Amino acid sequence: MSVKIIEAGLEYQIDAHLGEGPVWDEKKEKLYWVDILSGLFNEYDPNKKTNKSYEIGEHIGAAVPREKGGFILAKKSGFATFDPDSGKVTPIIDPEKDKPGNRFNDGKCDPSGRFWAGTMAYDLTKGAGNLYCMSEGFKLEQKLDGITISNGLAWNKAADRFYHIDSPTGNIYAYQYENKTGKLSGRQIIRHISDDIGFPDGMTIDREDKLWVAIYGGGRVLRIDPESGKTLLEIQLPVPKITSCTFGGPDLNELYITTCREYMSEEDIQQAPLSGSLFKVKLPFNGWPVNRFLD
């Protein structure tokens, strides 16, 4: 059976070096996202078509909204709070201060409001990364180790399954998940993405418990059934390096997609000049409101 293909349109043209981590705030009707290697936290207003950037002062892997307002960041130097109104960044804890060659990458909150974020080595050393979970009171626990590029976190509707990606392996993993404790067990591979297609990167989940996976180097986002591992739908983009995606809009049926231009030559960028921009596609599927950090 052939897979239906649709195209995403340009939402906002920008030259992000490594656009990542899109988060939709349904209360403010804004999209928050980061440019990791430029150290920028971005606030995009789709109603005004404007993007405001805040300089964090170092590489920033992920940002999640707090229930009490503001954000929690996973930065090069660890976890911190961030207040966009004042611009103040307040350090919390750095679990890898003894690993200067590492930085934080993708991160999200789980259904109980804990913040999960993973690390990776700048030189892509195999197995140098870890996955951490921060809970109420800023208590930190290491959940996984031996990861090369921690990416793509998602939880299912029943909150008993956790999905995670280690990009260079090409694998999308599923774990049994205890929502009360955050305990993981029973890892299995639910889909392997062949490297001739690209590498799985950021990921989100819809209300039908289907995964939406950004394919870095593949110019597409795939909707995947985690039970069968099959591709159900493909979204194509006019740029090669797709990094992540999230549902937004008033009805949470608009998929926002981040891209990047890292490791691209001038010739590469000439061939795909919209690399680094934000894209969007309206879908007959809906996502969930963002999980906020509870502290």
Give me the active site residues, please. 201
Local structure of 8: helix, strand or coil: coil
Q: Rounded to whole angstroms, how far apart are CA atoms 239 and 61?
A: 21
Q: Half-sphere exposure of 251 toward its Cβ, with a 13 Å CA cutoff?
A: 8
| Termini Cα distance of the chain | 47
Local structure of 117: helix, strand or coil: strand
Q: What is the largest CA-CA distance in the chain?
A: 53
Q: Rounded to whole angstroms, how far apart are CA atoms 235 and 246?
A: 13
Nearest to 51 by CA among 63, 39, 61, 42: 42
Local structure of 169: helix, strand or coil: helix
Classify the phi-psi angles of 263: left when phi > 0, otherwise alpha if psi is within -120 to 50, otherwise beta. Answer: left
